[in-house]
Amino acid sequence: MTSAPLAFLRRAAALVAVALLLAVTLPAAPVEAASARIKDVVDIEGVRDNMLIGYGLVVGLNGTGDSLNNSPFTEQSLTGMLERMGVNTRGTNMRTKNVAAVMVTGTLQAYAAQGTRIDVTVSAMGDSKSLLGGTLLVTPLMGADGEVYAVAQGPIAVSGFSAQGQGASVTRGVPTAGRISSGAIVEREIQFSLAELPVLRLSLRNPDFTTAQRVATAINIQLRGNRAQATDPSSVLLTVPEARRGDVVGLITEIEQLRVTPDQVARVVVDEKSGVIVMGENVRISTVAIAQGNLTIRITETPQVSQPGPFSQGQTAVVPRTDIQVDEQSNNRLAVMNSGVTLQELVQSLNALGVGPRDMIAILQSIKAAGALQAEIEVI
């Protein structure tokens, strides 16, 4: 009767021992690191946007344009435009407030063909109150080389508005800036022959030695040869194979879909104005003790009125009553964080102390000054 339970216990003990042995000897399943496509971490040299800018006039405003007395550039531009149209206004005193001088900006995409349209942004220069309902007149848009690459014109879409009365006013959004969707036509193309390049330069958006080497390794594995080489933290040179000289676009498409794991420097970014703190996952803290607390003294005045007794011929008097409370933050404790503390553990420990974002900035700077923060602190 007793042999069966003993045999069962022996088998259970053996199974537990095997499970413990497997748990100790077998490695844990690796956690897949976050990977990204090469397309999302690099730019191809020569494939880039170009900024355009122009100066123009907006007409059709309902009395919300520039006052010509305070905006001489608007008056001069209006006079010059009317003269080109055959109207002579020199020597006259124009009082219109339906015109505003604006700056027009846009972005010329890479390889934008002649005749395609791009969006433009219109922003007031003078004392115009609103561009609502206005129409931009023909405005040439120039590049950094002074050449005209596009021409903009059209009605402006403004999301903000402004209303004012004798006793109050309200403004929502920015009524002095608007946008013209597809409001500019490309007149000149930027010549750049990508297919004729024997060597392509891949520029990393976040320069890093490790990431550049990983990109080069992934490309070499895909092309089965030593075609890519990381020359610095921000550049990877790719020699186009002879067999792919006529298919550079296909080669780039094939490379862009490869996945790599970007690396990053341990960095803590602090915005002191808004109290925003951003920390990377590689931030580590050496053994350090942290305490946070302030001395708070609260004084409350509650004066009381003292009335004299009946028939005592006394006078009413005000008796001061003062309550003083001292808070030494005795509930806060000294927290000790061991070496190798991760980002999550750091945040949890500081939150346990009741530390807010503003105080956390000072604590991080103090930890860095003590040499216990293994990361860079960047204040913006």
Kindly state whether residue 308 falls inside one of the protein's structural domains. Answer: no
Angle, helices 248-256 vs 209-223, to 10°: value is 120
pLDDT digits (tens, 9 = 90+) for 164-196: 666 677 777 889 999 999 999 999 988 888 888
Provide the pLDDT for residue 335: 54
- The range of the structural domain enclosing residue 89 comes to 50-161+171-186
Check whether residue 290 and residue 229 sit in a common domain: no
Kindly state whether residue 140 falls inside one of the protein's structural domains. Answer: yes
Look at 345 and 263; give whichever has higher pLDDT: 263
pLDDT, mean of residues 24-40: 61
pLDDT digits (tens, 9 = 90+) for 70-99: 888 998 999 899 988 888 888 788 888 899
Check whether residue 287 and residue 256 sit in a common domain: no
Check whether residue 234 and residue 210 sit in a common domain: yes
Q: How confident is the model at residue 297 (pLDDT cuts 50, 70, 90)?
A: very low
Check whether residue 182 and residue 64 sit in a common domain: yes
Kindly state whether residue 5 falls inside one of the protein's structural domains. Answer: no
* Cβ-count burial 30-51 (b if 16+ within 10 Å, e if not): eeeeeeeebeebbebbeeeeee
Q: Cα dist. 145→26, 46, 51, 141 in Å?
A: 64, 16, 11, 11
Asked whether residue 323 carries a pLDDT value surpassing 80, the answer given is no
Provide the pLDDT for residue 306: 72
pLDDT, mean of residues 251-272: 88
Total domains in the fold of the chain: 3
Check whether residue 102 and residue 149 sit in a common domain: yes
Check whether residue 55 and residue 182 sit in a common domain: yes
Check whether residue 56 and residue 145 sit in a common domain: yes
Provide the pLDDT for residue 23: 38
Kindly state whether residue 142 falls inside one of the protein's structural domains. Answer: yes
Look at 142 and 277; give whichever has higher pLDDT: 142
Check whether residue 275 and residue 372 sit in a common domain: yes
Check whether residue 284 and residue 353 sit in a common domain: yes
Kindly state whether residue 224 falls inside one of the protein's structural domains. Answer: yes
Q: Look up residue 338 and give its DSSP letter.
A: -
Kindly state whether residue 45 falls inside one of the protein's structural domains. Answer: no
Kindly state whether residue 6 falls inside one of the protein's structural domains. Answer: no
Q: How confident is the model at residue 19 (pLDDT cuts 50, 70, 90)?
A: very low
Provide the pLDDT for residue 176: 92
Given 186, 219, 237, the domain boundary residue is 186
Asked whether residue 260 carries a pLDDT value surpassing 80, the answer given is yes
User: pTM higher than 0.75 for the full model?
Assistant: no
Q: Residue 18 and residue 293: Cα distance in Å, rounded?
A: 51
Provide the pLDDT for residue 24: 37
Check whether residue 329 and residue 354 sit in a common domain: yes
Check whether residue 61 and residue 175 sit in a common domain: yes
Q: How confident is the model at residue 11 (pLDDT cuts 50, 70, 90)?
A: low
Kindly state whether residue 227 falls inside one of the protein's structural domains. Answer: yes
Q: Residue 367 and residue 370: Cα distance in Å, rounded?
A: 5
Check whether residue 274 and residue 341 sit in a common domain: yes
For residue 111, what are its two tokens? 């390889």
- Considering only 35-49, 181-195, 207-221, 358-372, which range has the smallest mean pLDDT? 358-372
Provide the pLDDT for residue 138: 95
